[in-house]
Structure 1
């Protein structure tokens, strides 16, 4: 038996509570990209080596990804409000520690803690949305979440460039972290007042699967380490970790099946993967993040190292994508109820088209005007990205029972982090290889972007296959099936349109 869910909070409070969640999500995702343009400042002002700079970026991604699923499960069991506030408080304190770090080693340690705290916050957001909203309102809420995901990732280089330009190279990197403090404190204070006090959604007798956490954590670590350290760890030996990761994740799968057979609460309910909407949605999310997040990595490198842009100018050049993705995500949150998976197909096609436009613009307008030439295709890609992220999140989680929403959100976002790391490894390898062969020319960025387009086309193929299968065999929705079976579990949803 699971705890009966309280009704949603009054309209004004639940939308304000959503604002708190989105604010915390914004600063935690902003920190995945804002530090990229601050690395030269860290080298100049702190004496950070290339290895330390690498760990400032990759260490955050690692601990972020490792914390997601256990933190989501913790929120399911102990209450999402408590887990959210704890994660936000830890993130804010760790941000202050990063800004005050006396040396590179301390900065790396605090950065690892900051990433784990961000991983604690993220799954609570999607879980709280599922608790607070239903139907079209939930789609709108996920649309706003999609806006935050797109904007925070894309606006990071711009925000970092502005701070470093204003404060100076020597101390500018510190303010990349200090900027989180007033936002984090304000969000925490608002969260204490506004976040609903829902009871824990998991059963009272459920225990935390520590051995499952260990297996999953080691598996994800073995998978992500060679990806995030691809440029720093030379040689091929690092790839030996991938079969180790496969073995560990296979052992995790077998352990979780055993937990289910024994009637114990698993860390991840494997029945989630019996839902086609969840499985394909998670795969689409993984492959899409492998393609689109790499664009900001290689494009800002190209603008600074090849074209000669400043950090601020490079950040401004990706602003059209960031602004347009916010608009597209807000629209996608409304349109997904009507168009379902077709909207994701349109969005993925639009992103591919926009990136191809950037490739053509780099070819036709070389030199310092390239930022202006790529503005329109960046705008197209941004709108399409907004039509992809939030609708896919809505469709992926809509049939997940509320008492598993935290863990499901953790699985989905772990896939996003793994996809981002894998995409940067692959696209970065292509970019740097062509740069070494052809020097500082447009060839490297063109080949890097074409690789990203190829990855996005894989996500498009998955979305088209899912859409066609659903159109051919609509079948009953999972929620309706659970109602017919008389399930006592919480979180059954209203029917979803066939083909969504």
Structure 2
């Protein structure tokens, strides 16, 4: 994918005076966008009941946002380079706020899904401007600090989504229930819009505008929908012939799309996907590890909420707080990851994967032994260990994937990697959610969660094997 234009004119003295206020405003928007990937998870049982929706529909409520966000990220970056980063940020933030209101007012699951797509599209318009703005207005040590804060905000939002969602549902302001999960975005969105109008300065790329590869974008989007739709909706339909036809057609459409991308490159134009990056074995294999890692994480977060609320009968707040140990483990270990790599070599990521696997196995064993009487203390401890394992892996994995990429290709590579993480999350929710709902219908929630963990264990094993292969390439 094309470089998301991390270049631009040098900030003027007046811009420099506002840069930290600018960072505060754009990071508020970042927090909201990432929060909305996860805040809905804890609300799923309430949404399903309130809208009388099916299992497949509530899965789409989560994945529709992620897919729209993923496929338009790079396009949002390019538009910001050409039309102005402040302008695109304001459009995206305004769209996101309006879409949040539409989500909260949705009278049906179908309209909620449509509003979530609009939310994801809006997030894809504003989030690329955040990194671009940091790159333009910060240099040297301050840029490193700003990027570190940006990474911390993303990590915090990922965990806070579950907890904040639990608190919002517990308070039940004005008796609006799950709708408050979306309405809470509105005041923060307005603050971010007004703040952006005051403190953000416009910037654009000096490079000429590059024509968007609409056919490449469309083929990848359609291929993903053809892949994910039967995975989510096939179970409720009894897996008719069209589900298998859709999966086969997905492979065909994506293959044709990639062939078209090669044609675009030969013609001297800029393709949606920069296929030359796949000549680097570490990049290609690293994306496969990313697929297993992030799909497993997102799938776990989704089915764990269902198990806690529908299987153990916990309140939304109690289930949200169960993610707190996981978030603490992730935050601490991810901050220590680089020091651990320096002290013990890159092989420390193996122990992160092993810690995840051991924790998953221990949880499976506890479920066999205790069932719905599972000790909450032991569950919290295992979530802490899972989070610690995830955190040890994430930073070194991303650095290893991008290590041999040329500087001029770093933006395009980062775009592919970021998009892959979002696509992986959608696939993880579709696959583990499908396994969970299928088993829950016939064998109950304990068995459903336990057997979904076996799928997670297989993904964790793939992560470990992939990491071993990747580290060997990196030497």
Give TM class, smaller chain: 0.7 to 0.9
Match of 2:315 in 1: 310
Partner of 1:378: 383
Deviation at 1:41, TM superposition (A): 3.3
Question: Contact (CA 8 Å) 1:99, 1:174: kept in 2 or not?
Answer: yes
Q: Is the 8 A contact 2:16 2:137 kept in 1?
A: no
Is 1:114 the counterpart of 2:99? The answer is: no
Distance 1:219 1:319 in 2: 36
Is the alpha carbon distance of 1:61 and 1:407 closer, same or farther for their aligned partners in structure 2, counting shifts above 3 Å?
same
For residues 73-124 of structure 1, give each alpha carbon's deviation from its aligned partner in whole angstroms, at most 9, with x where no partner exists: 4345545444333222211121122223355443332222112112333444
Residues 81, 170 of structure 1: alpha-carbon distance in 2 compared, 3 angstrom cutoff? same
Equivalent of residue 167 in structure 2, options 143, 162, 170: 162
Residues 434 and 267 of structure 1: CA distance in aligned 2, closer, same or farther (over 3 Å): closer
1:216 match = 220
Residues of 2 paired with 1:29 and 1:312: CA distance? 19
Between structures 1 and 2, the one with greater helix share: 2
| Partner of residue 185, structure 2 | 180
Aligned to 1:461: 465
User: Does the 8 Å contact 2:71/2:419 carry over to 1?
Assistant: yes
Report the CA distance shift for 1:197/1:242 in structure 2 as closer, same or farther (over 3 A): same
Aligned counterpart for 1:227 among listed residues 221, 226, 231: 231
Distance (whole Å) between structure 2 residues aligned to residue 131 and residue 281 of structure 1: 29
Distance in 1, Cα, partners of 2:259 & 2:132: 26
Question: How far has the Cα of 1:264 moved from its partner?
Answer: 1.5
Cα distance in structure 2, aligned partners of 1:46 and 1:189: 34
Encode CA deviations 1:457-496: one digit per residue, 9 max, x unaligned.
Answer: 212222221211222xxxxxxxxxxxxxxxxxxxxxxxxx
Asked whether 1:267 is paired with 2:245, we answer: no
Conserved? CA contact 1:20–1:187, under 8 Å:
yes
More deviation in 331-340 or 419-428? 331-340
Q: Which residue of 1 aligns with 2:431?
A: 426
Distance 1:371 1:252, change over 3 A: same
Q: 1:88 aligns with which of 85, 93, 101?
A: 93
Residue 62 in 1 paired to residue 31 in 2?
no
Q: Relative to 1, partners in 2 of residues 1:376 and 1:3: Cα closer, same or farther, differing over 3 Å?
A: closer
Distance in 1 (CA, whole Å) between partners of 2:42 and 2:162 is 6
CA distance in 2, matches of 1:249, 1:64: 18
Between 283-292 and 218-227, report the one with greater CA deviation. Answer: 218-227
Distance 1:245 1:291 in 2: 22
Instruction: Tell me what 2:28 maps to.
Output: 23
Unaligned runs of 5+ in 1: 472-500
Cα deviation for residue 282 of structure 1 reads 2.6
Query: Helix, strand or coil for the counterpart of 2:204?
Result: coil
C-alpha change, 1:469 and 1:136, in structure 2 (3 Å) is farther
**1:238 matched residue in structure 2:** 243
* Mapped partners of 1:50, 1:120: distance in 2: 30
Q: Structure 1 residue 424: deviation in Å?
A: 2.6
* Residue of structure 1 in register with 2:103 after alignment: 98
Q: CA deviation at 1:176?
A: 0.4
Instruction: Tell me if 1:296 matches 2:301.
Output: yes
Task: Return the offset for 1:290.
Answer: 1.1
> How many Å separate the matches in 2 of 1:25 and 1:352?
31
When the two structures are superposed, what TM-score results if normalisation uses the length of structure 2?
Answer: 0.84
Alignment partner, residue 355 of structure 2: 350
C-alpha spacing 1:271/1:50, structure 2 compared with 1 (3 Å): closer
- Aligned mates of 1:39, 1:401 — CA distance in 2: 43
Pick one of 427, 450, 454 that aligns with 1:450. 454
Q: CA deviation at 1:19?
A: 4.6
Say whether the 8 Å CA contact 2:264–2:270 is kept in structure 1.
yes
Structure-2 change in CA distance of 1:339 and 1:71 (3 Å): farther
SS at match of 1:354: helix
| Equivalent pair of 2:296/2:428 in contact (CA under 8 Å) | yes
Indicate if the aligned counterparts of 2:9 and 2:205 stay in contact, CA closer than 8 A: no
CA RMSD of aligned residues (A): 3.6
**Which of 37-46 and 293-302 deviates more?**
37-46
TM-score by length of 1: 0.80
> Are the structure 2 counterparts of residues 206 and 299 from structure 1 closer, same or farther at C-alpha, using a change threshold of 3 Å?
closer
